[in-house]
Every structure is written in structure tokens, then in C-alpha cells.
């Protein structure tokens, strides 16, 4: 007999290990989840510094530092960093976001000390060699060119800039060619010393591990780090610009993003917001996918997204279509946004979206990587651990009224922004302004 939903969740939770948290004297937070059934451990050093924390002339500096950290320490060459971790079958990488940077590794549990040693070494003892900085500058410039050559990615950077304007949330994470070319070693070191301090660091780990052992390793490697000078609080952001912007480029399709203000990461209706996003364009059974792709064949790719930050957010819809059909596609997107804002929600669709999210949440925790990331983000945005059962209960409680409420809060004509990329010019646009 198939177990009911509560029993299924209970069985899954039984497999989850205990959560533990320790704060070192210098402010570094260590959060772990022991999973004794695994042979591996995923761990990351998360720093709450990202592209949002940059001044205009510094745009791309957090991402650039992420690259340069892997280019040699006092004890290891760039080759040594990757060779040592790969020689035990592990992996190491990093990424930069709007509000954080993460250096992470995955190894067999027996090699956790090596992983911490390498991650801590590149964070605390990178030498920022001038020749390596110049070499990596060229790599980052190639990355920017690659992004700009990928229109379905590039449109998102253009959309963020249109929506947020001169606020740092509007800056591309990679930076732009002009800013990356301007970075000098002393400027890089000053930013690093001010923004990568222990009070901004979280060590998150999930897998076969012992919490106290990990705390001891982190204390030995990163305990000596001292707080640096503070640059003050990051600039707040509450809304965005309502406008229509177009960038001409000779392409086969016109790519567009249409969206409005979202909600913060910790918003009281955050689960309703993610449910709304799923219903509109979060999967292949969503309204936008069915209405615009399946029924009319106007696009190959269409989806919605909800980007949430500390104090604000951004909701949007992406699609790529032909110049001749872009007006119809945008009109259909607006039609679906208006419908959900007006409360036209089918109970069956709501239940299906919630089940999809529930399954996605559980599946994302099948591996240690997903659990490590969840530990870190809960610490960053809530300063506490949110048990899976608590999150699933909140999702289960989302009602049609909740989705309507969050739709009316987010889908607001005063912040409705449309950005287009393709063989189209401003004089050809059929819209003067957009309304919901």
C-alpha cells in the first residue's frame, strides 16, 4: 500500500541528520547536517558579499576576486589547488551571486580536512599575484563576451539594468569590459580586506561528518582571521522602474523579459509567491507554457522566474519569439498576469503547483550539495535553521487567497518593465506603456 503524504515526509525526515551550529570567536558561523548514510561531504565557505555590494566603478569586482582566489596561495600554485582535490576524487569550484559568494568542494568524508585546508588556504592566503591577475582578467573578459553572445542569458542582464537602473542590483555580476579592465591590484586587495571578513563568513557542510571535528578544523584554519574595517550597510532597494527598453541586435529571434517588483527572500507570503511563479511559468504544465507554446506555437522557450533578495525581489517572464509575433506573445503574457492578479485561480492548478514545489524541495535534498546550500541560505536570510517539515507545512497552507494577495502585491503596473533584445528598434515598438 502506498504511504500517505505525512508518512512519506516522515520517512524522508528520518533519513535527515541532526543540525548543529557553532559561532567562532571571530564571528564565523559553522552550520552542519550530518548524513551518516552518505560516503561524501559537501562543504562551502559562503561570504555575504556579492555584486550588490559594489560601487559603479567596482562592478564585477566580487566575481573577479572569486576567480583570482584560485590563482595561487603562499603554499599552492593554481595547479596544486585543483590537483590536490582531484587526486582524492573530489571537486572544487566557486560562484558569485548578487548577495553572496561561495567557495565549495565535495569530497569523500575521509578527506574533509584536506577540503577545508584548501578552501581556507585560498580564502585566507591568496597572494593575488600581478601576473595571474592580468591572466585572469583576460579570462573574465572572455566570459563576458560569451555571455553577451548568448541572447537568452544576456537579456536577463539587460532586464536587471532596465528595472533597477543605477542601483547595484542592476549591475551584471560579471561586470562589464570597462570596469574589469580598470581593476588595479591595490583596489582589489582593499575591497577584499573590507568585504571578506570573518563576520560575513558561513561554513556550511552536509554529509558524513562530525560537527565538532569540522569546527576544530575551521578554527585552526580560519580562527586567526580578524574583523576588518566596515564599509557600512548595503544600499537598500524597494522598487524598480516601469519602462520599455530595447537593444537592437541582428538575431533570428526577439528575446524579451517582462516583469515587475517581486518579494524579499523572507516575505511572509514567500511560499505563495513561489506557488504563483510555478503556476504561471515554472514548468511545462504552467499557464504560459501551455497557452503560448503548446496551444499557439509562438515560442520554443518561455518561463517565469522569481528572484528574491534580502529586502526586495524581482518577478519576470522570459520568452524568445519572432519579430512578427512578439506583440502577440507579450499581450498573452500580460493577459495571464492580469488573470492571476484578478484571482482567477483554479483549485486544481493550485494543488498541482504546490505538489510540484513539494516534490522539488524534497528532491533537491537527495544529495549533500542541495542540503549544504540550504543550510547556508537559511543562515544568511533567517539566521536560523528551517526544518524541512516546517517549510512543507507552510507550503501546504498556501491558499488561493494567498496567491491572489501576493499577485496583487507583485504584479503592479507602476513597476512593470519590458526589455527586448533583437532585430527591433524603439520606433517599431507597438507599446507606449504597459498596464495590468
- 285/279 Cα distance (integer angstroms): 8
DSSP line for 136-197: HHHHHHHHHHHHHT-HHHHHHHHHHHHHHTTSGGGS-TT--HHHHHH--HHHHHHHHHHHS-
Other C-beta atoms lying within 10 Å of the C-beta of residue 87: 10
Q: Which residue has the cell 542540503?
A: 371
- 61/90 Cα distance (integer angstroms): 28
Burial of 233 (0-12, 13-18, 19+ CB in 10 A): exposed
Nearest one of 208, 196, 27, 48 to 115, comparing CA atoms: 208
- Could you give the angle at which helices 388-396 and 270-281 cross, rounded to 10 degrees? 70
Beta strands, E only, 178-330: 201-207, 244-248, 254-261, 302-308, 313-321
List the beta bridge partners of residue 181: none
Burial of 361 (0-12, 13-18, 19+ CB in 10 A): middle
Order of strands across the sheet that contains 40-47: 19-23, 29-34, 201-207, 40-47, 101-108, 91-96
- 404/109 Cα distance (integer angstroms): 46
| Residues annotated as catalytic (active site), given as ranges | 66
Amino acid at each position: 500500500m502506498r504511504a500517505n503524504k505525512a508518512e512519506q515526509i516522515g520517512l524522508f525526515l528520518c533519513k535527515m541528520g541532526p543540525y548543529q551550529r557553532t559561532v567562532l570567536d571571530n564571528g564565523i558561523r559553522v552550520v552542519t547536517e550530518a548524513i551518516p548514510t552518505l560516503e561524501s561531504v559537501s562543504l562551502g565557505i559562503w561570504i555575504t558579499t556579492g555584486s550588490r555590494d559594489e560601487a559603479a566603478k567596482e562592478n564585477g569586482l566580487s566575481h573577479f576576486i572569486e576567480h583570482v582566489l584560485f590563482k595561487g596561495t603562499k603554499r599552492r600554485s593554481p595547479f596544486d589547488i585543483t590537483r590536490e582535490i582531484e587526486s582524492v576524487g573530489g571537486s572544487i569550484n566557486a560562484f558569485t551571486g548578487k548577495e553572496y559568494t561561495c567557495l565549495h568542494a565535495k569530497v569523500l568524508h575521509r578527506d574533509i580536512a584536506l577540503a577545508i585546508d584548501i578552501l581556507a588556504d585560498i580564502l585566507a592566503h591568496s597572494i593575488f599575484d600581478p601576473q595571474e591577475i592580468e591572466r585572469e582578467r583576460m579570462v573574465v573578459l572572455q566570459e563576458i563576451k560569451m555571455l553577451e553572445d548568448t541572447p537568452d542569458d544576456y537579456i536577463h542582464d539587460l532586464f536587471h539594468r532596465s528595472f533597477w537602473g543605477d542601483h547595484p542590483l542592476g549591475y551584471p555580476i560579471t561586470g562589464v569590459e570597462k570596469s574589469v579592465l580598470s581593476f588595479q591590484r591595490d583596489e582589489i586587495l582593499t575591497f577584499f580586506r573590507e568585504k571578506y571578513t570573518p563576520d560575513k563568513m558561513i561554513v556550511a557542510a552536509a554529509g558524513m561528518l562530525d560537527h565538532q571535528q569540522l569546527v576544530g578544523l575551521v578554527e585552526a584554519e580560519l580562527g586567526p582571521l580578524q574583523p576588518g574595517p566596515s564599509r557600512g550597510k548595503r544600499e537598500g532597494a524597494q522598487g524598480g522602474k516601469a519602462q520599455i527598453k530595447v537593444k537592437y541586435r541582428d538575431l533570428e529571434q526577439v528575446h524579451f523579459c517582462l516583469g515587475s517588483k517581486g518579494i524579499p527572500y523572507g516575505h511572509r507570503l514567500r511560499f505563495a509567491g513561489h506557488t504563483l511563479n510555478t503556476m504561471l511559468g515554472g514548468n511545462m504544465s504552467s499557464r504560459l507554457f501551455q497557452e503560448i507554446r503548446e496551444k499557439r506555437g509562438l515560442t520554443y522557450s518561455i518561463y517565469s522566474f522569481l528572484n528574491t533578495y534580502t529586502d526586495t525581489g524581482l518577478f519576470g517572464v522570459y520568452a524568445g519569439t519572432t519579430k512578427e509575433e512578439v506583440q502577440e506573445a507579450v499581450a498573452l503574457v500580460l493577459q495571464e498576469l492580469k488573470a492571476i492578479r484578478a484571482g482567477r485561480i483554479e483549485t486544481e492548478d493550485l494543488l498541482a503547483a504546490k505538489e510540484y514545489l513539494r516534490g522539488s524541495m524534497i528532491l533537491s535534498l537527495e544529495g549533500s550539495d542541495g542540503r549544504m546550500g540550504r543550510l547556508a541560505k537559511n543562515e544568511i536570510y533567517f539566521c536560523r535553521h528551517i526544518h524541512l517539515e516546517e517549510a512543507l507545512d507552510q507550503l501546504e497552507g498556501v491558499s488561493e487567497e494567498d496567491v491572489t494577495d501576493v499577485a496583487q502585491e507583485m504584479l503592479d503596473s507602476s513597476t512593470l518593465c519590458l526589455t527586448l533584445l533583437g532585430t527591433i528598434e524603439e520606433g517599431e515598438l507597438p507599446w507606449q506603456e504597459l498596464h495590468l
